């Protein structure tokens, strides 16, 4: 896989004109480090105590860091660069609790895997490879969309809220001010038919 060249640091003038802070974000101190000693891979997580990963529980954070690192394995070797990308994705979701942190980790994993299949789809050599990569890519894309929706439902408690900002009431019309709930559309019973 090609290595990306790091971007050069923007000048103070460039960052000021773009409205970007030249200092790193406070979340950047969360970091996964992968080392190897005597053939053993060691994964360590440096994290802030600010709940930016949805928890302050050390065991949870260490476990999450190891799971992220193991999800990046290629040929048995975890990738520190990919692990830190996934960690940044989790931070970007701004999880409020451990459930959200785990869901964000799953989302990052599905995203990375989906892009792997996108790359494979772009480099197929025959129809069976194309069909296989296309099926996997589509399933992963649908899974990702479902995960985003699940996160949204979890955060809102499954409630949907509609805000009406403008109402016109014609002469002789009536309007209701306040909370209105609708029981939904169900099948009418035969004896409930309207004349």
170 domain-assigned: no
pTM of the predicted structure, to 2 decimals: 0.68
- Residue 53 falls inside a structural domain: yes
Q: Output the six-digit token pair for 171.
A: 């002469």
Q: What's the structural domain count of the chain?
A: 1
Instruction: Assess if residue 4 is contained within a domain.
Output: no
The pLDDT of residue 7 is 47
> Nearest CA to 79 among 131, 118, 117, 36?
36
Q: What is the pLDDT of residue 175?
A: 73
User: Do residues 136 and 117 lie in contact, with contact meaning Cβ atoms separated by under 8 Å?
Assistant: yes
The domain in which residue 64 lies consists of 27-160
Find out whether 10 and 22 touch, Cβ atoms under 8 Å.
yes
- Does residue 40 belong to any structural domain of this protein? yes
Tokens matching residue 74: 């290629």
pLDDT of residue 29: 74
What integer pLDDT is reported at residue 46 of this predicted model?
85
Domain-embedded: residue 101? yes
Residues of the chain with pLDDT under 50: 1-5, 7, 22-27
């Amino acid at each position: 896989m090609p290595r990306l060249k790091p971007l050069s640091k923007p000048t103070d003038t460039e960052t000021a004109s773009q409205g970007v802070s030249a200092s790193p974000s406070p979340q950047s101190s969360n970091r996964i480090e992968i080392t190897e000693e005597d053939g053993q891979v060691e994964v360590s997580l440096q994290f802030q105590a600010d709940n930016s990963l949805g928890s302050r529980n050390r065991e949870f954070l260490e476990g999450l860091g190891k799971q992220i690192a193991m999800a990046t394995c290629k040929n048995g070797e975890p990738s520190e660069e990919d692990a830190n990308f996934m960690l940044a994705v989790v931070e970007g979701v701004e999880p409020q609790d451990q459930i959200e942190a785990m869901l964000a980790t799953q989302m990052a994993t599905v995203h990375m895997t989906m892009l792997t299949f996108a790359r494979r789809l772009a480099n197929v050599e025959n129809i069976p490879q194309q069909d296989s990569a296309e099926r996997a890519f589509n399933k992963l894309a649908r899974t990702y969309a479902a995960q985003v929706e699940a996160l949204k439902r979890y955060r809102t408690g499954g409630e949907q809220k509609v805000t009406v900002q403008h109402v016109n009431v014609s002469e002789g019309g009536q309007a209701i001010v306040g909370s209105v709930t609708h029981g939904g559309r169900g099948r009418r019973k035969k004896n409930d038919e309207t004349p």
